A and B are shown apart, each in its own frame.
Chain A
């Protein structure tokens, strides 16, 4: 054992340890890829909201499925996402803005944070009026 050459027994020990470690890692990698797969269809990113005339000027419409709030102001249509930017709960629309039930974040009517823990404003979503006067909302 004192010389530099590896004895047969030590060599075999080392080799089996190396092979076992390598196959373990390969197995883990396989398991990781097996589980890290998503088979469900992606959630929709486009929503048809029907005739634009259903949303008269000055209206604020709650769209709980998205979830978003559709606004029709003088400048046109706009929408604010109701997904809290902290950890994703749905915020509640209130006269003074938006309130999150989970950790108490508050947002003003434009969606800017007025109280943490959220530190990003609520997302504004793109709304388009199609050629046949329907509204389409995009969440991406």
Chain B
């Protein structure tokens, strides 16, 4: 058989543990699958979406209600994007809690962090493309946050917004970043991440002499499991897309009345909650960046996982990293829940 990209990712046999659901949670594979759905549905949306403030809302309505399967395409894109952000958090969490970033995989861990950031930025820019009342204040506060950065803040604002306030130039810039700039970067990183995964010996398990469990599965068994996972994921996405449509509010108009509460998209609620504490630069820029840097440094600054312990949950050797990650995650979840409480 001629080796192909498929065979590159599916060696004739692999250690059984590398494909055990309760070890991997299938998170990486699901992410790839979601990226594929996002790519296909995204391309389809390009044919109807019009990136101008006056037309954006109407064109989304046309896509959703007039075009056959248009609503399905949009809802699939929406739900896949939300799941991609969730999976992009669960995946590194699994990696930290199993110590799977142990050398030589630190660099691939960093590539993965880059992908997490891109998943969030892509989700945010896609959300802004709705250009409806629902996104208005998240866009205003998010971009004004840039201005709070000393020295370069105002330049960053103009680069992102293309003017002194959100408008046509802003929508075009977000559109460009969303469908091309960030998508291209994400595509390159995904390919690189998968390449490194294979180069580093696949999913982290102890080296052969230290393995308690020597069983291996064939590429056909692996493929069977992958197809099963894809079928389950597709079913979930289709059900959600049929019964829970993606949100869309009235288009932005200057004269719309101020609303009672304005919420950030769910993955930024924790930042919105921190902003209530005061200084925008500190709580809105420094702290989120510090969280990102701390997560990225986990393979480098904490005690490293040891090889014999790989392939299972909560190894003893990297307990500190596990504790730090869980603590930050719980803080973020708590902040998110606080932000969801009704305003006092």
The contact size tier of chain B is 20 to 34
- CB within 8 Å: A-B pair count: 87
CB B257 to nearest CB in A, in angstroms, measures: 7
Are B164 and A42 within 8 A (Cβ)? yes
A32 touches B163 (CB 8 A): no
CB neighbors of B among A81-140 (8 A) = 82, 86-93, 101-104, 116-117, 119
Within 8 A of A (CB), among B125-181: 137, 140-141, 144-145, 155, 158-159, 162-165, 167-169
Cross-chain contact of B255 among A65, A87, A91, A104 (Cβ < 8 A): A65
User: Are A38's CB and B163's CB within 8 A?
Assistant: yes
Which one of B40-48, B80-88, B233-241, B271-279 contacts A? B271-279
> Can you name the residue of chain B whose Cβ is closest to the Cβ of A66?
B254
**Is the beta-carbon distance between B140 and A103 smaller than 8 angstroms?**
no
A interface majority secondary structure: loop
Q: CB of A74 within 8 A of chain B?
A: no
CB within 8 A of B140: which of A35, A82, A88, A104?
Answer: A88
Q: How large is the interface on A (under 10, 10 to 19, 20 to 34, 35 or more residues)?
A: 20 to 34
Pick from A32, A42, A117: contact of B275, CB below 8 A. A117
Question: With the chains together, A116 CA to B278 CA distance in Å?
Answer: 7
Q: Is the interface of B mostly helix, strand, loop or mixed?
A: loop
Verify if B280 is at the interface (C-beta below 8 Å from A): yes
Q: Which residue, of B254, B256, B344, has the highest number of chain A Cβ atoms within 10 A?
A: B254
A65 and B254 contact, CB distance less than 8 A: yes
Is A39 part of the contact surface with B, judged by Cβ < 8 Å?
A: yes
Q: A87-B141, A88-B141 are in contact. Are A101 and B277 (CB under 8 A)?
A: no
Instruction: State in angstroms the CA–CA spacing of A137 and B262 once bound together.
Output: 28
Q: In the docked arrangement, what's the CA distance between A59 and B169, Å?
A: 37
Given A92-B257, A101-B261, 15 extra CB contacts under 8 A: A40-B164, A42-B164, A82-B258, A86-B275, A87-B141, A87-B144, A88-B144, A89-B258, A90-B258, A92-B258, A92-B259, A102-B141, A102-B262, A117-B276, A117-B277
Q: List, sorted by A's number, 22 A–B pairs whose CB atoms are closer than 8 Å.
A: A36-B158, A38-B169, A39-B162, A39-B169, A40-B164, A42-B164, A64-B254, A64-B255, A65-B254, A67-B258, A82-B258, A87-B145, A88-B144, A89-B137, A90-B258, A93-B258, A101-B262, A102-B272, A102-B275, A103-B272, A104-B344, A117-B280
